[in-house]
Amino acid sequence: MKLADVHFREGNYLRALSCYLKLLSFDPENARTWNKLAVIFIKLEEHKSAIELSRIAHRLICKEMNDDCKLGII
């Protein structure tokens, strides 16, 4: 994640994209990674893809929040 974040901060979006995609192969439910991909696609002016990636990130964040709430009930 750190290397991907470095590339992202430096504006090397294609390198960051490659790193984040690799991260998703190990952790496909990482909402932060999906969100970073959405931001990259916004920077690359690929807005349709950015919207889809944002939707995935949103769904995963909602799932995490729901799981956390269930833990509070137990």
* CATH at 29: 1.25.40.10
Residue 10 is predicted with a pLDDT of: 97
Residue 54 is predicted with a pLDDT of: 96
List the domain range (segments joined by +) for residue 48: 2-73
Question: What is the pTM (predicted TM-score) of this model?
Answer: 0.83
Token representation of residue 74: 């137990």
Token representation of residue 38: 């959405």
**Burial class of 58 by CB neighbour count within 10 A (0 to 12, 13 to 18, 19+):** middle
Please tell me the distance from the alpha carbon of residue 10 to that of residue 48, in angstroms, as a whole number: 24
How many domains does one find in the chain?
Answer: 1
Kindly report the length of the chain. 74
- Taking only the tens of pLDDT, the chain with its 74 residues reads 799 999 999 999 999 999 999 999 999 999 999 999 999 999 999 999 999 999 999 999 998 887 665 555 55
